[in-house]
Structure 1
Amino acid sequence: MSDRYIDFANSSLGHRLVGALGLPSPVRLERWQAGRLRPVEGALLIGGGPLAARVNAFANRLTDAIYRYGDEPAGAAEWIPGAGPKLKAVVFDASDLQRTDQLKRLREFFQPLMKSLDRCAHLVILGRAPESLDDPFAASAQRALEGFSRSLAKELRSGGTLQLIYVGDGAEDQLEGPLRFFLSPKSAFVSGQVIRLQACDTQVSDWTRPLAGRKALVTGAARGIGASIAETLARDGADVILLDVPPAKADLEALAARLGGRAVTLDICAGDAAAQLTEQLPEGLDILVHNAGITRDKTLANMTPDFWDAVLAVNLNAPQTLTQALLDSGALHDHARIILLASISGIAGNRGQTNYAVSKAGLIGLAQAWATTLQARGISINAVAPGFIETQMTAHIPFGLREAGRRMSSLGQGGLPQDVAEAVAWLAQPGTGAFTGQALRVCGQSVLGA
């Protein structure tokens, strides 16, 4: 659905008017386009501690324009405030900040950059997980990075984003994958997030087709976010299997034919759904995306048992049951990737959605609980929590609520199905075994639960 306010705010007249009135002026976000070759199209600035040199070692695969601000990394051209180019991407390694007085380096590094950021710039701060540090003062300094990163993300303008990545011991070799995602338009609607990387023994061999040779199943794939996920996985080289309910058969088969995939019609809540699904997957799976979901909104005072039971059955019980069956049968290969579509409603709650929020919070809990057990087989499991996404469902929300959902984020707009799909495709990559048991919000840094 078209966002008419953004259209107006980015027109010549609208830009002047919203500026004069002090109204929000969100920009149209840059998103990944077919034919693009590099994650960063513009200047990349790298600075800070020892991890800066690790990033510099592969930076030429991200962009041709690499700069440093400070002494590190050696070999990069020096960026001079006020004289250097506009910055499209920034990486600052704060992993060596161990005392309160060292935190001033955050201000010293970022303050001169703020007026030199290009449109839709992407920033990343690197650190070390506080819980991994024995020194309480060092742990305090690293935990302080979360407050800084989330606050600075809310100060960025013109579509800018910022993330904090805590790099575990042995995960230094896994930085390229996350930076390719978070420094590129693929993460256009992701901001203010804190993620943790750990050691992983698998890597992407071909960044142009990172999912080549991998077989993926997407539930609820006939339309909307599910269809976008299937398209994006296929774009990245996966062999896709699309699953949806029998009434969606026509749309499902048309999409499968276009993507060169296979359509499976199945009611995932049926008593024999697990057996039917396992039978449909003789070659097994490398990627499992639980996208199917429904809403039946009512305040708890008016919630019927049917509304409660239906949402829990589709959104939570089916993913639990089907995933367990695929694990037990061996249909999920070693080093598989499991992605659960949750929601910020499962993090922050939402009036009139107790049933929906229960189901989505349960999915986040499932990812957290299963992560350690599945690591023995190299399998990762994560949740993606979308915020306000422009879909047919949100198009029917009353105007006032729809506008509030769009504007109540740092980016001042709703996301697109592509934004969720890009996050899922990244989590499906071989190297993202370094990221497991976590919930990645795709919400434009929504004020809900922030």
Structure 2
Amino acid sequence: MNSFVIFISVIISVLCVILTSLQHYVFYKYLRRPVKKFEVPLFEDFIPTDETSLSYYSLDDDTILQGLNAVLDPPKTNENSREPVSETEVHNTLQAALAFHISGKIHKAMKLFEHAAAMAPADADVLNKYGEFLEKTQKDIVSADELYFKALTHSPDHPAALINRRRTAQIVDKLDSEMLKTIDGKRDILKEMFSKDSFDNIKKQAYYLHIYHTVGIEGNTMTIDQLKYLLETGQVISGKSIIEHNEVLGLQLAMKYVKLLTRKAFISVNDILGIHRRVMGHVDPVKSGRFRSEKVFIGKHIPPSPEEVPMMMEAYEYWLNSEEAQNMHPVRYAALAHYKLVDIHPFSDGNGRTSRLVMNLILIRAGYPPVMVLKEQREKYYDALNAANLGDVRPFVRFIAQCTIQILDMYMYGTEVRSIEIEEKEIINY
């Protein structure tokens, strides 16, 4: 009997030791896991605080603002709606494009391929032939790869598109990696330029542009000058709705809140709710900072039901703070964080603005400038999101990478111009 008691006691003791070891392992692996350290945000004061007041105004500000906006050189998009066309018309247009291509009339062929793709965006033959044309004549493998993928989403067994995609996919992956290296190189150059001077004026004017384009994507019609006047004076802009005013003021509050979050190593669901509460607080106080309670439809994409949202947001929080995510290149990490949040679509409204702020929170923590998606890029932005919904996130990551290069170039231009102006003033004063 005593032996049996001793035996049981030993077994219990061993189990206790094992459970204690497991508890310590889980604690240190998941709860005390060292979080990837982020460098001191280079662009932290891009987001104004009470100490860096926007009310300060110099005569150079308008010139800087116009110059920075001009560097962005927003692309023009075709806003014309597509009208229904017959299969015969599409077929004839495609054949005419192929004929012009064979005869060497590349420009005319390009126009017809573009027209055929616009008429029949779901026609696998058109998409595949258009991709082959771009690959052979323009050496545009990236666009060709995207077209092959689109062809396969509509016709998964399309033989020519399958062969083409196998060939281009790996090449495009390498090109995307090279683009990220280019971004890092530009970021390092800009960091070196900023180490010589703070260039607060440039950051302040970029702040106006950021708000202008962010609310502009959602349909806000304020001009940069009107928006700047509202933020600097607090005065109402004649002819603009209360909602448009509140969108601007809400985004300003959210950007200030994001600055507080840049020093946090962990991004929580409550942080995201806090961003949304500020983005939408002036526009819809009842629903701001709360998950949606109704089902929504975003074009052909159907986000999860409202009952699933809390659970999916917990999973999203876990992914955001995981080693897998934080070991990615910051631009890819930020782009995927944006897409995943939009895909869940946790709020009734303000999902895009909240997602872009989460994306920029990640970029700022990693030493990159906040990315602007220009209002003129709205169509391309949504096309990239739609491609991600179809299963290929690379076009969206690539789009955000291109936006990052765009904003880095803008800062580099503004910094160079400002440096020249400072040197000229020093020479004159001397």
Q: Which structure is higher in strand share? A: 1
Rg (Cα) greater in structure: 2
Q: Which structure is higher in helix share? A: 2
The structure with higher relative contact order (CA 8 Å, sep 6+) is: 2
